[in-house]
Amino acid sequence: MSVKFFPGQDIIEINQDHLEQLQRDAETAPLRRARLCLHRDFSDKVHEMVIAFCRDSYCQPHRHGHKSESFHIIAGRLLVVLFDDEGNITRRIEMGPGSSGKTFFYRLNHSIWHCVVPLTEYVYMHETTAGPFVPGENEIAPWSPPENDAAQIKVFVENISSGYGD
């Protein structure tokens, strides 16, 4: 994933030019998503990011252990899918910007298997989670397809997002 920081800035402003650059970065990134990190570095206690997803970006189901996360949709539509320990869907939350009539804010307070599925060509969101970031700390769902298996991913995403989308 493409990641950019704003080091040393006390005030950060994000405008349409940033979103357009983020979209271009996502289009060329192997995971088809890119983020602007608004925190200073991975050791910060609070991590805030603006993330752009292309529609074909796959976010493997995972859980965070003791960390919470929240999303606020800037543009586009996103499906948050929650699972039990066996991989059964327990809830789906369709999100969109405030003007869409969809849920525009979501917060997950404890360790639940989840993933996101972009429902539009591009999705832009603001995410906040607890830091610090520790590589490998997220637990990946053993029942989910790996990021390198396009055929399994296609079937999995179609199954979990059935009834949603354009």
Give the model's confidence band at 141: pLDDT under 50 very low, under 70 low, under 90 confident, else very high.
very high
CATH number of domain containing 156: 2.60.120.10
Q: Establish if 38 belongs to a structural domain.
A: yes
Q: Establish if 56 belongs to a structural domain.
A: yes
Give the model's confidence band at 35: pLDDT under 50 very low, under 70 low, under 90 confident, else very high.
very high
Q: Establish if 165 belongs to a structural domain.
A: no
Residue range of the domain that includes 119? 2-160
pLDDT at 51 over 70: yes
Could you tell me the strand order of the sheet in which 89-95 lies?
89-95, 78-83, 113-118, 62-63, 139-140
Check: pTM over 0.95? Answer yes or no.
Answer: no
The Cα angle at residue 4 between residues 47 and 33, in degrees rounded to 5: 85
The domain total for the chain is 1
Q: How many CB atoms lie within 10 A of CB 21?
A: 15
Give the model's confidence band at 110: pLDDT under 50 very low, under 70 low, under 90 confident, else very high.
confident
Q: Establish if 136 belongs to a structural domain.
A: yes
Q: Establish if 166 belongs to a structural domain.
A: no
